[in-house]
Structure 1
Amino acid sequence: MPLATPPEKFALRGDLLDFTAAPAWGEIDPGSALRFQPDHWLLVDERGRIQGTQAEAPDASWRQIDHSGRLILPGFIDTHVHAPQLDVIASYGAELLDWLNTYTFPAECRYADPAVARAGAERFLDALLAHGTTAAVVFATVHKVSAEALFEAAAQRGMRLITGKVLMDRNAPAALLDADVASAERDCVDLISRWHGVGRLAYAVTPRFAPTSTPAQLAMAGALCRADASLYMQTHVAENRAEVAWVSELFPDARSYLDVYAREGLLHPRAVLAHGVWLDDADRAVLKASGAQIAFSPSSNLFLGSGLFDWAAAAQAGVAVSVASDVGGGSSLSMQRNLLDGYKVQALAGQRMSAWAGLHAATRGAAEALGLVDEIGHFGAGTLADVCVWDWAVGPVATARAEVARGLHERVFAWMGLSDERNLHSAYVAGVPKYSRSSTA
C-alpha cells in the first residue's frame, strides 16, 4: 500500500540531536556516538527521506520551516505497547495477574466488534503521534479484526508498525481463546500474506505469554518464525514473580521462563520480549546468542509493582535493550516519562542511566534492535523523515531549569525529566506532517 504523497522538499531549522552509535551505558560523555548540531537545518526531499543536515540556510528551492530554539529528534520508537489497553490505563490496585483478569481481559473482549477495533486503532495511533512516537511494536487482541484494524490505520498514516493477532488458547476467558491451534495458525498465515512487508508494516507472531498458550500453540508459533525469518515475534517474559512461579508449574521441564520460548524456536534477532525483570545470567547469555531484545518497560514495572529491571547487567552481557511504555500497565505513552522512570529504576539498583543511554534506546538503539536502522531512528542520509520537533521547556519551572543548565548532558537530562507530550510542537511521518500543536489546540 503506497504512502501518502509527501510535500515538496523542505528544511527544518532547529537544534538537531541524534546518535551515530551506542553511547557507553551510564557514561555522560558520549564521545562520537552523539551528534548534536545546534541551529542546523535538516533537509527532507520529495520522497520524504532525509537528504542531510547543514549549518547554512538551504537555497530557495527548499521550503524553509524555522524552529530556531527548539529541539529536533528522530521520532520515538515504542517497542512494547498494547493498543486496546488505552481503555484501562491508570486502573487502581492490581499486580500483573490480577490486572489481566480485572481490567485487561474485559477490555480486550470488546475488540471482537470491528467498529470498536477500528475506532480503538485510530485513537491509539493518533495518541502515539501526539506523544512523539512515530513507530511501534504493538499488541492487538486475539481477534483477527483487531490486528487488521491496526494495520489499516497505520497504513493510512504511513507509520512503521509491527503487530499481529494475539495467540491464546488457555487460562483466559473463553471469548479471548483461539478455537484451536489450526484456526489460530490460519488467521496468522492469512494476516501475514495480506499485511507483512506491505508499505511500512510488518507482522509479529504474538503469543501473549507462556501461561496462555499450550505447548502445541507455542510450537506452532515457533514453526511460523522458522518458516520466515523476516517475521517478528513479540511476547512477555519474567515480568512478575508470581507469573514466573506459575510458568515453572506449567512447564516443569523448562530450565527457566525464557527457556520455554527458546525450546520452541521463538528467540531470534527479530524477537522482542517485554520486561525481563527476573532473568539470570544464563538467560542473558541465551538472549545475547539469539539476538533477541528486551523491551524495558519501567513505568509499567513500577505501576504494577513487578520489580526492577537490571539494565546494567543486560548491557554487560551484550543484550539489546530498548524502551517501551507498555500502556496500559504503563501510565503514559510519553517516552520522556518512561525514560525518567527508567532512570529511577536504575537509581534504585545503584546505577545511573544517562540521558544518552535512554534517548539512544528509544531511537537509534530500538531501530538497530529491530533491524530497521536503515529506515528510522537517526538523521542519516536516506532514512525516512520520521521526525519530531520539541520545545526545550514549557512553563516557568522547566524554563528556569533550562536557563541554568551546565553543559549539554545536564540540559538534555533536564529536558528528559521535565518534558512530556505538552512539549511536542509537531511530528512528521516519512516527511508528512501528522501532528501539529497549533492544529489541535
Structure 2
Amino acid sequence: MSDAQGLHAVRGRIVHCLHDPGEGDDRNALEVFDDGVLLIEGGRVARVGPAEDVLATVGAEVSVTDCRGQLVVPGFVDVHIHYPQTDMIASYGEQLLAWLERYTFPTEGRFGDAAVAADTAGFFLDELLRNGTTSALVLGTVHPESVEALFQAARGLGMRLAAGKVLMDRNAPEYLRDTAESGYRDSRELIERWHGVDRLSYAITPRFAPTSSEAQLERVGELATAYPDTYVHTHVAENRAEVAWVSELFPWSRSYLDVYDCYGLVRERALYAHCIYLDERDRRRMAETGAVAGFCPTSNLFLGSGLFDYATARSDGVKVGLATDVGAGTSFSMIRTVAEAYKVAQLQGTALSPARLLYLATLAGAEALAVADRIGSFREGNEADFVVLDPTATPLMARRHAHTESVEEQLFALFTLGDDRCVKSTWLQGACRYSQSDRA
C-alpha cells in the first residue's frame, strides 16, 4: 500500500471539486465517480474515472486498494495552525490578548529546546495525518529550532508544508523576543536552507502587528520583497480589543490591514488569519493584491472573537481558505472545522452547500496557498495526496447514511456528524502515511 513509485489504483466513491461551487451551487463543480478508480503513478494522479473504464486500461498485475463503500477525496488543506500550541489546546476562560499572556507565551517559551520542538513536531504531524490533513501553513515560535524540527519531520514524511519562525520584538516576554536584525537574519537563513526543498516552503511570519516594532516590520517587508515566492503569514482583525490596540500603536494607519500594507506585506501569497473586523476598503485591497483570508471558525467561537463573514468576503473577491487555528482552535479535524464553518455562515444567513464545504476543506486551501496546480483536486498530474473516509464510522452515522440518497447528502451528514473516526487512511504522493487499521 505504501509504494509511491509504481502504478497503483485506489477504488471507491471518488469525489472532488474542479472549482468553487459558488453561492449558486454549480453542479459542474463537483465531480463524482460512484464506483471510481484513482490511478497513481510516480506519486501523481495518472487518471481518474469510472472503475470499469480505468481498470480496462491497466494490466491485471496492477495493485488495487479496494475502498468501495468509502469516499476518496483530496487531502485536507489547513491554511493556519500553530504547532507549538498543541499542548495548550483547550485552555480555559480567556479572550485573545489575555489568552496569549496566560497560556500561549509560556508554552512557546519551551521551544528553544530542540528536543521539545522535535517531540512536538512529530506528534503534530501525526495528528494532522490522523485527521486527514495532508498540507498546512504552520507557525513555529520565535526560536529557529522550532522551524528546523518541523521541516525535518515533514520532509521525512514527504509532506507539502509551509512554515516559518515567528518574528516578535516587543509586547511579549523577554524570553520570546528577537530583534529587528536577528529576526531578519534568522528568517533569511531559514529561507535559504529550507524554501523549495522537496515539498517545503517558507512563510515569513510576524506574529501580529502589536508584537513587531516599525523597524521590524520594515525588515519583514524587505524579506518579502527579496523572496516573493515565500508566503507572508500573520493575523489581522481577530478581536475588537486587538484592533483598538493596533490603532493606538500605529496612529498613522488607516486600518489594521493598512499597517501591513504600508510595509509591502499585502500581496500574493500573503495569508491573513481571521479578518473579522475588516471594512470594504480592506477587503477590496486584499482582493486586488491576491492576499488571502484564513477562516478560523472554531478558534473565533472559542475565544469569543466574532464571526467571519464568508459570503461578503467572497462577494468582494477575497480568496478564503479554511483553518483549524490550533491551539485556540478546538480540533485538528478539518471535518469538525467545516461543520463549525457551516454554523457560522448560518448565523449570518448563508447556507454553505455540501459541495462548497468540500471545496473549503480541499481545493480552496490549495488555491489560498497558490498550489492548486499541484494539490486540492484529482486533476491529471496533481500530487496524489488524498483521504479515504468512512461515512458509516459511528452507529449514528451509519443509520443516517442509510437514509441518504445522493453524494451531497452523504457529504453533509459526514461533515456534520463526523470527526477523526471517519478517516480510514491518509496518503501523501500515493504512499499511505496513516491507516486506521494500523492503530487498532
TM range (shorter): over 0.9
Confirm or deny: 8 A CA contact 2:73 2:386 kept in the other structure: yes
Please list the CA deviations of residues 89-119 of structure 1 after superposition, one character each: whole Å capped at 9, or x if unmatched.
0111010011101111111001110000111
Residue 228 of structure 1: aligned partner: 227
Deviations 1:177-196 (A, max 9, x none): 00x21111110111011100
CA deviation vs aligned residue, 1:311-363 (integer Å, no higher than 9, x gap): 01001101001100000001001001111111111111122112222221221
2:148 and 2:264 map into 1 onto residues whose CA distance is: 26
The one-letter code matched in structure 2 to 1:341 is E
Post-superposition offset of 1:229: 1.2
- Indicate the SS of the match to 2:400: helix
- Counting only pairs closer than 5 Å after superposition, residues 27-106 of structure 1 correspond to structure 2 as 27=24, 29-45=25-41, 47-55=42-50, 56=52, 57=55, 58-106=58-106
Taking structure 2 as the reference length, the TM-score comes to 0.97
Q: Cα distance, 1:22 vs. partner?
A: 1.1
Residue number in structure 1 paired with 2:180: 181
Q: Which residue of 2 aligns with 1:20?
A: 18
Please give the alpha-carbon distance, in whole angstroms, between the structure 1 residues aligned to 2:92 and 2:187: 34
For the residue of structure 2 that corresponds to 1:376, the secondary structure is: coil
SS at match of 2:245: helix
Mapped contact 2:22–2:356 kept (Cα < 8 A): yes
Matched to 2:28, the amino acid is S
Matched, 1:197 2:210: no
Q: Residue 440 in 1 paired to residue 439 in 2?
A: yes
**Equivalent in the alignment of 2:429:** 430
Q: CA deviation at 1:7?
A: 4.6
The one-letter amino acid paired with 1:41 is V
User: Which SS does the other structure have where 1:94 is aligned?
Assistant: coil
Distance 1:117 1:222 in 2: 27
Which whole-Å deviations, capped at 9, do the CAs of 1:300-321 have from their partners, x for residues lacking one?
A: 0000000000001001101001
Secondary structure (helix, strand or coil) at the match of 1:199 reads coil
1:135-173 deviation per Cα after TM superposition (whole angstroms, max 9, x unaligned): 000000000000111110110000011001000000001
TM-score by length of 1: 0.97
CA contact (8 A) 1:8 1:63 kept: no
Structure 1 distance, partners of 2:247, 2:363, is 35
Q: 1:208 matched to which residue of 2? A: 207
* Deviations, residues 373-414 of structure 1 (Å, cap 9, x unaligned): 121111011111101101012222111111112433222111
Deviation at 1:123, TM superposition (A): 0.7
Match of 2:270 in 1: 271
Matched, 1:11 2:9: yes
CA offsets 1:402-439 (integer angstroms, 9 cap, x no match): 11124332221111111111011111101111000111
Match of 1:261 in 2: 260
Q: Which residue of 2 aligns with 1:115?
A: 115
RMSD: 1.1
**3-state SS, counterpart of residue 287 of structure 1:** helix
Distance between the aligned counterparts of 1:371 and 1:415, measured in 2? 28
Give 1:132-151 correspondences, 5 Å limit.
132-151=132-151
User: SS of 1:66's equivalent?
Assistant: strand
Aligned partners of 2:7 and 2:305: how far apart in 1?
47
2:99 match: secondary structure: helix
Alpha-carbon separation, structure 1, partners of 2:394 and 2:308: 32
Which residue in the other structure is 1:160 paired with?
160
Q: Percent identity?
A: 49
1:315 match: secondary structure: helix
Contact 1:393 1:419 in 2 (8 A): no
Q: Which moved more, 1:387-396 or 1:137-146?
A: 387-396
Structure 2 residue runs of 5 or longer lacking an equivalent are none
Using the TM superposition, give the Cα deviation of residue 368 of structure 1 relative to its aligned residue in structure 2, in angstroms.
Answer: 1.6
Distance 2:255 2:146 in 1: 32
Q: Count matched residues.
A: 434
Counterpart of 2:274 in structure 1: which amino acid?
H
| Counterpart AA for 1:196 | H
- Summarize deviations over 1:48-81 as a string: whole Å, max 9, x none: 1110113213432420111101000100000000
Counterpart position of 2:371: 372
Preserved CA contact (<8 Å) 2:142 2:166:
yes
Q: Distance in 2 between matches of 1:269 and 1:217?
A: 21
Distance 1:323 1:59 in 2: 40
Structure 1 CA distance for aligned equivalents of residues 191 and 12 of structure 2: 40
Structure 1 residue runs without a partner (length 5+)? none
How far did 1:30 drift? 2.7
Q: Which amino acid aligns with 2:311?
A: A
Q: 1-side partners of 2:312 and 2:386: how far apart?
A: 31
Per-residue displacement from partner, 1:192-232 (whole Å, max 9, x unpaired)?
11100010000000000000000111111111111121110
Check the 8 A contact 2:338/2:360 in 1, yes or no: no
1:383 and 2:378 aligned: no
Q: Could you say which residue in structure 2 is the equivalent of 1:239?
A: 238
SS in 2 for 1:277: coil
